[in-house]
Amino acid sequence: MNDDELFRALADGNRRQLLDRLHARNGQTLGELCRGLKMTRQAVAKHLAILHKANLLSWKRDGREKLHFINPVPLNEIAERWIRKFEQRRLSALSALKKHFEGDGR
């Protein structure tokens, strides 16, 4: 749960893609998360474990299913570390402008 672990977990396109998918729809099972991906189920499970260890992901049992949830709390902490309160509004305006012209590029 240290910063290095957090940034290492984020330094992988596949793991960011999994977070994107959970951001779009929270509370998915492993099977749902694997759908349409080129990775094997084992690879996805391994990436999810790394994200969980970095506290970017939480999971919950629901009957027989294990549901995965994105946990943005550590991301908020690193953002708050370098973004001042008064900068937030201007930065969101800038990022909305960028999205407008470039699409939701990643």
What residue ranges bind other proteins (CB under 8 A)? 1, 26-27, 55, 58-60, 62-65, 67, 69-77, 80, 85
- Choose between 40 and 76: whose C-beta lies nearer to other proteins: 76
Cα 106 to Cα 1, 58, 63: the distances in Å are: 25, 23, 35
H helices, E strands: number in the chain: 6, 2
Give the span between the Cα atoms of 10 and 8, in whole angstroms.
Answer: 5
Shortest Cβ 42–other proteins spacing (Å): 24
* Nearer of residues 81 and 106 to other proteins, judged by Cβ: 81
Between 64 and 90, CB nearer to other proteins: 64
Tell me whether residue 37 or residue 75 sits nearer to other proteins (CB atom): 75
Check: CB of residue 10 under 8 Å from CB of residue 36: no
CA distance 50 to 86: 34
Minimum distance of other proteins from residue 67's CB (angstroms): 7
CB of 40 to other proteins, least distance (A): 26
